[in-house]
Amino acid sequence: MLEIELIRHVKVAGKPALYGKTDINPLAADNHRLLEQLISQQKTSKAYHSIICSPLKRCQSVAKEFSQLCKLPLEVCADLQEMHFGVFDGLPFDDIPVEDAIEESPLSTKDHQEKNQEIHWSLLEGFFQAPATADLPKGERLGEFHERVIKAWASLVEQQLIAVSEQRARNLQLKVKQPTNRRVLVVAHGGVIRMIIAHILQLDWKKSSWHQQLQIGNASLTRISLSQPYDNNEVLQQITTIAMPFLKEH
């Protein structure tokens, strides 16, 4: 059996904003708690066999340290990065001007006017209401993001199923009778996890409600069980846990 657990990174050290491609640091204290929890779990029957993560620091830092301390293989997957939000990426919400503020601005240069046309609340609100059609300036389209993530997920699943098959073959050679179980940790982002869930459940990832109403909390865990119960080698993917808080309370 193969289990893949998706953990969203902890909170970041920055003001409230859309953090996509922006490579911001995680909160050190929360990251340390997450690391301790992962190490503690590694001593139980729920130990991981490998780690995969986004290259951004808020994911890679804890994954890399966990990998080194527990001597686990680590793969950094660029396509598991969060969506790129263009001119709004990493820009604090408090710094985004509204229409009235733009019109009353004393600055009137062409560059300033063009910049303000790209950065104002109405564009961001339009994206929140229709994320699949309202593209953000200089950003990644939602469809492009979906395609990137699902291709990465398909590759990840294929790779891990091969690892299960290889381990099963080794067990047969060694005459080990216990079942072949493999558990993989993926440290990623909220948007990435939403796309994977929607893909498995065949839900409409284009709807704004999917992105606004499904809360994937920081340091939450989503568990997916994978098997091949039929002769046609079709992979059955079942979501057994969605966004369960993983960190213990203080």
Give the tens place of pLDDT for each residue, 68-110: 999 999 999 999 999 999 999 999 999 999 865 444 454 444 5
Give which of 148, 130, 26, 141 is closest to 85, Cα–Cα: 141
- Rounded to an integer, the average pLDDT of 2-30 is 97
Q: Are strands 2-8 and 220-227 parallel, antiparallel or unpaired?
A: antiparallel
Is residue 7 a contact partner of residue 223, using CB atoms and an 8 Å limit? Answer: no
CA distance 90 to 95: 11
Q: With cut-offs at 50, 70 and 90, classify the pLDDT of residue 114.
A: low
Q: Are 10 and 25 in contact (CB under 8 A)?
A: no
* pLDDT at res. 108: 47
Please tell me whether residue 71 adopts helix, strand or coil conformation. coil
Q: pTM to 2 decimals? A: 0.91
What residues does CATH 3.40.50.1240 cover in the chain? 2-84+141-245
CB 178 within 8 A of CB 171: yes
Q: In this structure, what DSSP letter does residue 234 have?
A: P
More confident site: 133 or 112: 133
The answer to whether domain 2-84+141-245 has CATH 3.30.70.2740 is: no
